[in-house]
Amino acid sequence: MSPWIIILVLSLYAPQEIKIEPTPTITPTVTPTPDFRVKNLEDFLKSHNSPLASSSADFIEIAEEANIDYRILVGIAKAESGFERAGNTTDYNPFGYNCPGTRPCQRFSSFKDAITKLTQTLKTHKAYTRFRETGKLQDLAESYLKGNKIQWETTVRSIINQLEK
């Protein structure tokens, strides 16, 4: 048999190079799930005629970044200012933050700034160490105010329960 015939036969049965086109990658579009808590909080604060309603997303986002339950912040706003409907409603300070009683409370440029300041204070200030360790409102009340701690704690707890997750 001729070597050319052998080469021809082998070439017919030799594996052929197959060029495979890559499959195009399809990236699924992910629509973020709306955070129902924002809408619930907004509706809740609107039902109390609170100007804080427009800051609902800020409460949740800022508190989550600090690993603090946003409902505590909302409860403090209720206990301290009736959701910013009592007292000075133009200082953007619904938390009674830095209100010594003999002079005006600290002013903020926005509710978001006030929420950020309170959240960072609760997260890092040494006066709130016990609260961070226990998570108990009683420990927070001991550090947060000089007034009626039981009434304050009851108000904050009530709001937490109303905004149950």
Q: Which CATH class is domain 30-162?
A: mainly alpha
Instruction: Tell me if 128 sits within 8 A of 121, measured CB to CB.
Output: yes
Per-residue pLDDT 10s for the chain (165 aa) are 666 555 555 555 555 665 656 656 666 555 555 689 999 999 999 999 999 999 999 999 999 999 999 999 999 999 999 999 876 678 899 998 888 776 778 899 999 999 999 999 999 988 888 888 888 889 888 888 888 889 999 999 999 999 985
Spatial neighbors of 20 by CB under 8 A, at least 6 apart, are: none
Joined together, the tokens standing for residue 3 give: 């070597």
pLDDT at 150: 92
36 burial via Cβ count (<10 Å: 0-12, 13-18, 19+): exposed
Element (H, E) at 111: helix 111-124
Instruction: Tell me if 113 sits within 8 A of 59, measured CB to CB.
Output: no
Question: Which pTM was predicted?
Answer: 0.76
pLDDT at 137: 87
